[in-house]
């Protein structure tokens, strides 16, 4: 009996340390939805742009606008669905140190990568943009995994690896975006849901 009590105490300590330092209310379903959106959008770009080589300023402009809209919609989806999940399961969802740390650690690499892409695009260096988006997104995930579910880093490693492979390829931008932002999110989201979906 004593034994059980001591075990409970140790578990309480562990849980409290985790809960106070990590943001644990991300919706797995929203990750899958983001993946589906990204797949559809890359398919649209691939099939509707005449030929899929994004190699003229006009095509880049369209692509960048679509990408920014997609980015905003994706974050809104994750945010709103995570909020709903938190409310449903009575998880913490307040703008406190935990969430602030997560957002900061995610958006610093994202902002750096975004600015770099803008600089490259404005100087008409189109070649590496697709890999840079993936590389910095991967780094942002790895960085923020310390402040949320630690599994996020595996998605980060995958994006990073894909981005680096893409550096060596020419003209596969749409395909790597489809894989990285579409397929990877769907697969990761499903695994994530299987692991965390039903509990708490």
Partner 1 sequence: MIANLDGLNKAFESKIRLGIMSVLMANESVDFTMMKSLLELTDGNLASHARSLEELGYIHCEKKFIGRKPNTSYSITDLGRAAFSAHIQALASFINTQQ
Residues that bind partner 1 (CB under 8 A): 2-3, 6-7, 9-10, 12-14, 16-21, 92, 94, 96-97
Shortest CB 75 distance to partner 1, Å: 24
Q: Which helix (H) or strand (E) holds 4?
A: helix 2-21
Shortest CB 74 distance to partner 1, Å: 29
Own/partner pairs, 166-173, CB within 8 angstroms, 24+ separation: 166/130, 166/131, 166/134, 167/128, 167/131, 170/127, 171/53, 171/55, 172/130, 173/54, 173/129, 173/130
Place of tokens 């990408």: 67
Nearer to partner 1, 10 or 36 (CB): 10
Count of residues for the chain?
200
């Amino acid at each position: 009996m004593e034994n059980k009590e001591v075990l409970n105490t140790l578990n309480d300590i562990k849980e409290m340390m985790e809960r106070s330092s990590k943001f644990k209310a991300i919706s797995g379903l929203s990750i899958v939805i983001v993946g589906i959106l990204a797949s559809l959008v890359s398919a649209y770009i691939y099939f509707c742009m005449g030929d899929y080589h994004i190699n003229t300023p006009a095509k880049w402009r369209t692509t960048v606008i679509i990408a920014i809209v997609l980015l905003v919609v994706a974050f809104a989806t994750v945010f709103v669905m995570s909020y709903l999940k938190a409310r449903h399961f009575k998880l913490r969802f307040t703008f406190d140190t935990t969430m602030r740390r997560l957002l900061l650690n995610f958006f610093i690499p994202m902002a750096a990568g975004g600015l770099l892409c803008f600089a490259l695009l404005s100087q008409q260096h189109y070649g590496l943009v697709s890999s840079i988006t993936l590389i910095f997104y991967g780094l942002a995930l790895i960085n923020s995994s310390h402040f949320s579910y630690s599994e996020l880093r595996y998605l980060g490693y995958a994006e990073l690896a894909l981005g680096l492979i893409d550096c060596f390829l020419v003209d596969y931008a749409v395909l790597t975006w489809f894989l990285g932002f579409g397929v990877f999110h769907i697969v990761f989201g499903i695994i994530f849901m299987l692991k965390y979906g039903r509990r708490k």
